[in-house]
Amino acid sequence: MKILIQISRFFVAITFIFSGFVKLVDPLGSAYKFEEYFGYDVLNLEFLIPYALPFSIFLILVEIILGVTLLMGYLPKITSWSLLAIIVVFLFLTWYSAYYNKVTDCGCFGDAIKLSSWGTFYKNIVMVFFILLLVLKHKLIMPLFNLNIAKWTTFLSFLVFLYVTYYVLIHLPIIDFRPYAIGKNIPEGMEYVGDEDPAIHDFFLESIEGDDLTNLVLTSDNVLLVVAYNLSISDIEGFSNIKTVTDKALQKGYIVYMLTSSMNEEFETIKKEFNFNFDLLFCDGITLKTIIRANPGILTLQNGTVTGKWSWVDASKVFNN
């Protein structure tokens, strides 16, 4: 039994740490996923949508810290019961998603690993089994080193995780698992490989006149795209930085567009206020959220390959060479 408990301990701890980490480096991705869950056509809890980001941050921190405390053997009774509580929540959400086919990707492992709804549900059933063992036999969970080290490791880990969360929200995810990561080629991501669906399937750029300019953008040498999926909630102060970098890009011969899912009237208001010298292209809002975790953000392309990504906060770094 002792061996089984130790196997369960390390399996559950590593799973929760990994799951928490891949979401910790991209908390906005988890927030977008919770917005889906809170939507009227899923759980119908739309009043919670404004709190999706703080809720996701809280859940991510709880998940990864519980993994650390279990691994270190700190407060095993509280940790094991807390793990059981959180896995029951995950189990319900994944069952609901799978049974009603509402959210096809629960985001349990962020964008790092994609599982089907039923696959995630069955994974959580396995996790429940191992966590129940830990709840029943928590007295067999001893500190990995000693109690003092376990306590301070947990505390310092929490501070590090808080800082990482703050950093990626101000800037961009420190690890990008999405098909629009730097170095990825968008046209290649749109291709079918065997029977698998392409990683990119909604990248379509349309002008105000209704012209399809996707190919123009993806086949040009130097392209700078300002991505603002929703102009009504964009960081308005960021557009001053955007103005500076887009003027430099135009001077260097770049093709410059703003990508948004907002109405043209909203863009025209901002264009006039900041004296932008470029036009907009319409694109699906979910696609824009996937491309970059900033609103507004900056993307540079060369023949369809992503060569750079920046939050508006770091706009001065785009041409700092």
Peptide bond preceding 50: is omega within 30 degrees of 0, i.e. cis? Answer: no
| DSSP 3-state of 162 | helix
Query: Does 109 lie in the same domain as 8?
Result: yes
Q: Does residue 65 fall inside a structural domain?
A: yes
Q: Choose one of 126, 141, 170: the last residue of a domain.
A: 170
d(CA 276, CA 255): 13
Query: Does 63 lie in the same domain as 101?
Result: yes
Query: Does 285 lie in the same domain as 225?
Result: yes
Q: How many domains, the chain?
A: 2
Q: Does residue 198 fall inside a structural domain?
A: yes
Query: Does 226 lie in the same domain as 154?
Result: no
* Long-range contact set of residues 266-272: C-beta below 8 Å, sequence gap at least 24: 266/231, 266/232, 267/231, 270/231, 270/236, 270/239
Range of the domain at 156: 2-170
The label of the residue with tokens 């964009």 reads 234
Query: Does 140 lie in the same domain as 21?
Result: yes
Q: What is the pLDDT along the chain (321 residues), one digit of tens a residue?
A: 788 888 999 999 999 999 999 999 999 988 988 888 888 777 788 888 899 999 999 999 999 999 999 999 999 999 999 999 999 988 888 887 777 776 666 566 656 677 777 888 888 899 999 999 999 998 888 888 888 888 899 999 999 999 999 999 999 999 999 999 999 999 999 998 877 788 898 999 999 999 999 999 999 999 999 999 999 999 998 999 999 999 999 999 999 999 999 999 999 999 999 999 999 999 999 999 999 999 999 999 999 999 999 999 999 999 985
Query: Does 190 lie in the same domain as 157?
Result: no
Query: Does 81 lie in the same domain as 192?
Result: no
Q: Does residue 181 fall inside a structural domain?
A: no
